[in-house]
Amino acid sequence: MMDMRAPSGLRFMKMHGLGNDFVVIDSRGGGAVTTPALARALGDRNRGVGFDQLAEIRDSDKADFALDFWNSDGSRAGACGNATRCVSDYMMTVLGRGAVSLVTARGALAALRRDDGLVSVNMGQPQTDWADVPLARAVDTLHLPLPGDPVAVGMGNPHCVFFVPDAEAVDLAGVGRGHEVDPLFPQATNVEFASLTAPDRLRLRVWERGAGITLACGSGACAVAVAAHQRGLTGRRVVLDMDGGALEIDWRDDGVWMTGPVAHVFDGWLTPAFLAAYP
């Protein structure tokens, strides 16, 4: 019989931020383990663990740690705000501190735990030049030449933000994939539908690149807050109500800060047999 007290294989953590869920692998002190095939297999909610994104913690000589992100379809993501908050909370506990620095594909980021227990991350300044989002050609990112007049914003990953009268009424499952692969976005895009519900509040529904509909999207919330301010709809501080709950966004001089809850749900071990099947 298997000794449950002495598991073997690869340890992982299951976390979520507002229902945006993650498998987290702590590879500090060793080499990276994630491959596209492993990410796809682990992301399978029937045959694997299931997640919206996989985050792998790596050693860094420039910050407390580095983070790599993968989508459930096996593609890479340049940014993931909610996973950054979840992993930062874990690393603050590991290091016995109230703040941490980290490095992602985007560059250096900082996170801290507030007195109310919510975790904030500075996602950096938004990318508003067409080439940085990136877009396929030089267009006005504030008014894309697409039906629905969306805004393009980069947060280390691309976002296409539509302002609509009622985000609830959008057939996200029907239209999400089409927008995700619009040729104006050469690396595809995350897709947001937002409607203003108060002077400083928006309802937001998200179709994520490489993952589909998710309950929340941190970088998407940042992108919507930036686009709403640029369009003159809101100030620099807003609350985004997503299916999984609310995120506070504050676009300050030093970057776009995002604050919300984190949850570490359980830990597990991937069996050697599972790992061997997905080299």
Chain residues that interact with ligand API, rule: CB under 6 A: 20, 52-53, 71, 77, 79-82, 157, 190, 208-211, 214, 217-219
Q: Is 82 annotated as a binding residue?
A: yes
Whole-number minimum distance, CB 3 to ligand API, in Å? 36
Q: Is 81 annotated as a binding residue?
A: yes
Q: Which of 86, 160, 217, 222 is catalytic?
A: 217
Q: Which is nearer to ligand API, 243 or 274 (CB)?
A: 243
- How do 20-26 and 255-260 pair as beta strands? unpaired
Return the closest-CA partner of residue 200 out of 166, 219, 218, 224.
224
Q: Which of 80, 86, 160, 222 is catalytic?
A: 80
Whole-number minimum distance, CB 208 to ligand API, in Å? 4
Q: Is 71 annotated as a binding residue?
A: yes
Q: Which is nearer to ligand API, 20 or 122 (CB)?
A: 20
Whole-number minimum distance, CB 211 to ligand API, in Å? 5
- Residue 49 CA: distances (Å) to CA of 15, 91, 150: 12, 22, 35
86 noted as active-site residue: no
Which amino acid is residue 116, in one-letter code? D
Q: Is 122 annotated as a binding residue?
A: no
80 noted as active-site residue: yes
Return the closest-CA partner of residue 106 out of 130, 91, 92, 127.
127
Q: Which is nearer to ligand API, 131 or 277 (CB)?
A: 131
The one-character DSSP state at 255 is: E
Q: Supply the DSSP string of 44-75, one letter for each residue.
A: -TTTS---SEEEEEE--SSSSEEEEEEETTS-
Whole-number minimum distance, CB 106 to ligand API, in Å? 11
Q: Is 8 annotated as a binding residue?
A: no
Q: Which is nearer to ligand API, 92 or 211 (CB)?
A: 211
Can you list the positions of beta strands (E) in the chain?
Answer: 10-17, 20-26, 53-58, 65-71, 76-77, 99-104, 107-113, 119-122, 151-154, 158-163, 190-198, 201-208, 212-214, 237-242, 245-252, 255-260, 263-270
Residue ranges for the known binding site for substrate are: 20, 53, 71, 81-82, 157, 190, 208-209, 218-219
Residue ranges for the known binding site are: 20, 53, 71, 81-82, 157, 190, 208-209, 218-219
Active site members: 80, 217
